[in-house]
Amino acid sequence: MRRFVLIVALGLGLAAQGVAPSTSPTQLTLQQALAMARANSPDFQAALVAEGIAQGDKTIARAALLPSVNYLNTFTYTQAGRAIANNGVHEYLSQGNVHEAIGWGETAALKRADAALALARAQTEIAARGLAATVTNDFYTFVASEHKIATAQQALTAANQYLNISQEREHAGEVAHADVVKAQIETQQKQRDLEEAGLAHEQARLALAVLLYRDFNLNFTAVDDLEPAPPLPDAARIQTLAGARNPSLAAAQAQLAQARQDIGIAHANFLPTLTLDYYYGIDANQIALRNQFGQPNLGSIGVGTLNIPIFDWGANRAKLHQSNLRAQQAQRALSQAQRQLLANLQGFYAEAATARSELATLASSRDLAQEALRLSALRYQDGEATILELVDAQNTLTLARNAYDDGLVRYRVALANLQTLTGVF
């Protein structure tokens, strides 16, 4: 038992002397654990950052379609008699500029940015659901480990009782010393089982703490809501939810949309582009509203440029070919995602349905094992059963209890895996 006590003390972050914690443990529900994990998960936070960047890219792409306004201020000095680059020795420009570029690729670029944002949002949802499945597994493994400690403690208590009964019966000459030896061996085994259950409990606590806390806090407990098991929606509803809310499918569709817009952008490289500029302000030899002749310096300039691509050594054609290849690959990836969704949906639903249907028989086996142990104990006290039968009944009960707890965890995890396809139902 000393090893078990030490494990528990270390798991709670206490000193070896067993000093009580300074604060009571925080009791966490699954929803609280999920929120904490999302706040601390680097993968999920990276997905949120990528989504924010994609939102910025969309804003940039939309801005490329709209006119820009700038205010330009320039002074140019020209050495008199040696250069004729300007309109005088001193030339001052102080003008407002409205600039607009009209091309065929900007609209496609905006649509591509929309698709990229949709992809980033889908990947964020994938990260969130994957994290939820991981936290659910670790949370309920931790809860079940507490059940197993209780089961191991009950088994040890019962083993001590049976050891006392064996010793009393040996003193009364009703059984051989071999029964006492067997009972002693069984008691020692139950002590080891309790220590192992304590170790598994602390390992589960450590795994959960890594997900939940930045400072690796171990001073927490979990709300035990393993029972009752939540209902499983019917297959038709699950299929509808998966078709409408599956992030992997949405991500594949967004990647295909991106690839198709890349084709549009590559096509636009073969077409002319038009830029328009309007300037209003001063372009004169001095900074003044009027020049030395009394004429106004303020004026406006309009510039239009049509750029017609002629020859580029095949670069634009290569870009178009690359875009077509990416679109073909994205189409194949979407088809694969659709097939994978159907396979995962059937597999995950079958797993959840099987896990739920087995809970009834696991509970029945646990209750039957409890009754079998009670009857075996009475028969052993009356001299009608052997110590081996009693030990076997106790071990069967321990296995049945642990199997039921494992079944509850399996069903919870199966639901979480199914919700990676459908979202919360």
Give the residue extent of every domain in the chain.
Answer: 2-40+103-271+309-422, 41-102+272-308
Instruction: Please say whether the beta carbons of 93 and 72 come within 8 A.
Output: yes
Class of domain 41-102+272-308: mainly beta
3-class SS at 332?
A: helix
Mean pLDDT within 277-283: 92
| Residue 87: per-residue pLDDT | 65
pTM of the model: 0.84
Ordered DSSP codes for 214-272: SS----EEE-----SPPP---HHHHHHHHHHH-HHHHHHHHHHHHHHHHHHHHHHTTS-
Long-range contacts of 223-231 (CB under 8 A, 24+ apart): 223/27, 223/28, 223/29, 223/30, 224/143, 224/146, 225/29, 225/30, 225/143, 226/140, 226/143, 226/144, 226/147, 226/405, 226/408, 226/409, 226/412, 227/408, 229/356, 229/359, 229/408, 229/411, 229/412, 230/415
- The better pLDDT of the pair 90, 248 is held by 248
Mean pLDDT of the chain: 91
Cα separation values, 319 from 57, 129, 269, Å: 21, 36, 9
Tell me the HSE value of 209 on the side-chain side, using a 13 A CA sphere.
Answer: 18
Question: Tens of pLDDT along 110-167?
Answer: 999 999 999 999 999 999 999 999 999 999 999 999 999 999 999 999 999 999 999 9
Q: What is the CATH number of domain 2-40+103-271+309-422?
A: 1.20.1600.10
Mean pLDDT within 96-119: 94
3-class SS at 299?
A: strand
Question: Tens of pLDDT along 65-77?
Answer: 999 999 988 877 7
Mean pLDDT within 317-326: 97
Token readout for 285 is 């030899």
Neighbouring residues of 200: CB distance < 8 A, sequence distance ≥ 6: 145, 148
| Residue 3: per-residue pLDDT | 42
Instruction: Please say whether the beta carbons of 162 and 56 come within 8 A.
Output: no
Taking 70 as the threshold, does the pLDDT of residue 30 lie above it?
yes
51-55, 87-91, 260-264, 420-424: range with lowest mean pLDDT:
87-91
Quick check: do 2-40+103-271+309-422 and 41-102+272-308 share a fold? Answer: no
How far apart (Å, rounded) are the C-alpha atoms in residues 171 and 164?
11
| Residue 93: per-residue pLDDT | 86
Confidence band of 305 (pLDDT split at 50, 70, 90)? very high
Mean pLDDT within 173-180: 91
- The better pLDDT of the pair 219, 76 is held by 219
| Residue 327: per-residue pLDDT | 97
Taking 80 as the threshold, does the pLDDT of residue 175 lie above it?
yes
